[in-house]
Amino acid sequence: MLARVGIITAEDAERIVVGLGQVARALESGELALEPSLEDVHMNVEARLSERIGVAGARLHTARSRNDQVATDLRLYLRAAIGEIGQAIDDLLRAIAVQARAHVDTLAPGYTHLQRAQPVRLAHHLLAYAEMFARDRGRFEDAARRANVSPLGAGALAGTTFPIDRDGVAAALGFAGVTRNSLDAVGDRDFAVEAVAAAALAQVHLSRLGEELVLWASQEFGFVRLPEGYCSGSSMMPQKVNPDIPELLRAKSGRVIGDLVALLTVLKGLPLAYNKDLQETQEPLYDAVETLTACLRVTAGLVAGLEFDVARLGRAVGEGHLVATELADYLAAKGVPFRRAHDVAGALVRCAIARGVELSALSLEELRAEAPEFDDDVRAWLEPLAAIDRRDLPGGPARGRVLAELERLELELSERR
């Protein structure tokens, strides 16, 4: 651009481009080492460039500041990183979709307060995590959109007197446009905060999945077997298999949340425009991106290797009076006010507990003793599969709704691939 608008000659521009390539290769290979006396990486590059191409190297920095260059570099880095994160989320979503497809007809207990609540399809449970990670992907896309403007040309804080072509450079670098205020351009790190905030929330979602897998893989639950490569044995107790990766997914959330807090703390007291404090925004950004990307990739493999104990899940659905709500809904459908119907269902649960049986074992006479509206057709309401499929509404666990959501997810992933 400098050559195109006549600020430097085409010959100098060519020498600079060739020389920068040589310096980059020499630094990457270790042939050249960074020299601390040259202050920073920018001056190292410029000095080594001048050594190779002479006076043309000293023209590299024309119309540019380290301030706008670093702001641009960080946006370029983040744009690429978000692309990788998006691919990693999609790989995890594909693994979830495969498991959900295999377990559309597997019943599982749904929980609130970690207490068995109502029966659901295991696929519906798994697709809840797909919703979480899809929202995470959307947050990163939104952050990328705001990050995708070029600060180059903002200079140190007040632009430049040279007739540069900011829009042309932005287009060449793939930016959607340019920043609109030079002071803000060099001091802004909101784009980093947004990305790290999205990373922190995504890591929290991974932590929730990790926690559930720790519980479900325990002997107390026994709902799932984790792939061996994602676990470790005990150094003392030969019978134990420890859920290492799910536990680390929980722990890593603290690290990424810490990155967000560190980043916000650096920014909270800064006056305009650039301050050296901003150097400390880079490490938490890099750490959050690298931690989340690694965790997403590992989790995709973990999910793909899960083996669910279908029989045990089914037994759990049949224990704990999970169809109690069906009794209340049955009565409400017969015209009984719901609050009274709820009270009747609660009384019948207490009756079943006293007898040591499930609700389905209560006789019609016992049911009618609490509410005469019960009839023979109540038995069908107490079948878990029928109870699930009656919930045939958008977002519900009925078979057709689950299949429709699964197909929508699979189509989106196919189109993005």
- Residues 319-335 pLDDT 10s: 999 999 999 999 999 99
- 375 and 411 in a single domain? The answer is yes
Closest CA to 331 of 345, 351, 350: 345
Long-range contacts for 78-81 (Cβ within 8 Å, ≥24 apart)? 78/143, 78/144, 78/147, 78/191, 78/192, 78/195, 78/285, 78/289, 79/144, 79/147, 79/148, 79/174, 81/195, 81/289, 81/293
Q: Last residue of a domain, which of 282, 314, 346?
A: 314
Max intra-chain CA distance, the chain? 101
pLDDT per residue as tens digits for the range 119-178: 999 999 999 999 999 999 999 999 999 999 999 999 999 999 999 999 999 999 999 999
Task: Tell which of 285, 314, 343 closes a domain.
Answer: 314
Tens-place pLDDT, residues 85-117: 999 999 999 999 999 999 999 999 999 999 999
Regarding beta strands 232-233 and 149-150, do their DSSP bridges make them parallel or antiparallel, or are they unpaired?
unpaired
Q: Is residue 3 part of a domain?
A: no
Residues 218 and 101 reside in one and the same domain: yes
Task: Show the CA angle centred on residue 144, arms to residues 142 and 148, nearest 5°.
Answer: 125
How does DSSP assign 280-313, residue by residue? GGHHHHHHHHHHHHHHHHHHHHHHHT-EE-HHHH
Q: Is the pLDDT of residue 236 over 80?
A: no
129 and 166 co-located in one domain: yes
Task: Note whether 328 and 193 are same-domain residues.
Answer: no
Q: Of 295, 314, 333, which one is at a domain's C-terminal end?
A: 314
Tell me the percentage of the chain whose pLDDT exceeds 90: 97
Residue 138's φ and ψ, nearest 5 degrees, are -65, -35
Would you say residue 245 lies in a domain? yes
Range of the domain at 24: 10-59
- Please compute the mean of the pLDDT values over residues 243-268 and round it to a whole number: 97
pLDDT (0 to 100) of residue 241: 85
238: pLDDT strictly greater than 70: no
Same domain, 310 and 320: no
First and final C-alpha spacing in the chain: 35
What CATH number did the domain enclosing 162 receive?
A: 1.20.200.10
User: Domain for residue 335, yes or no?
Assistant: yes
Residue 252 lies in a domain: yes
Residues 277 and 400 in one domain: no
Domains held by the chain: number: 3
The pLDDT score that the predictor gives to residue 346 is: 94
Cα separation, 109 vs 201, whole angstroms: 26
For the residues 20-29, what does the mean pLDDT come to?
96
Residues 308 and 320 in one domain: no
Q: Identify the pLDDT of residue 68.
A: 97
Task: Say whether both 293 and 336 belong to one domain.
Answer: no
In a shared domain, residues 277 and 162: yes
Please say if the pLDDT value at position 181 is more than 80.
Answer: yes
What's the CA gap between 21 and 26, in Å, rounded? 9
Both 116 and 206 in a single domain? Answer: yes
Sign of the C-alpha dihedral computed for residues 309, 313, 314 and 316 taken in this order = positive
Q: What are the two backbone dihedrals, phi and then psi, of residue 238, each rounded to the nearest 5 degrees?
A: -65, -20
* Residue 195 counted as domain residue: yes
State the pLDDT at residue 232: 86
Instruction: Give me the chain's average pLDDT, please.
Output: 96
Clarify whether residues 299 and 384 are in a common domain: no
Q: What is the CATH number of the domain that holds 394?
A: 1.10.40.30
Catalytic residue ranges: 113, 234
Q: For residue 250, give Cα distances in angstroms to 48, 355, 364.
A: 45, 41, 48
Within a domain: residue 158?
yes
* 339 and 306 in a common domain: no
Q: How confident is the model at residue 57 (pLDDT cuts 50, 70, 90)?
A: very high
Tell me, yes or no, whether 2 lies in a domain: no
For the segment 181-205, the average pLDDT, to the nearest whole number, is 98
Is the pLDDT score of 38 beyond 80? yes
pLDDT for res 417? 83
Q: What is residue 28's predicted lDDT score, i.e. its pLDDT?
A: 95
Domain for residue 5, yes or no?
no
Mean pLDDT of 294-305: 98
The pLDDT of 351-357, averaged and rounded, is: 93
What pLDDT band is residue 240 in, cutting at 50, 70 and 90? Answer: confident
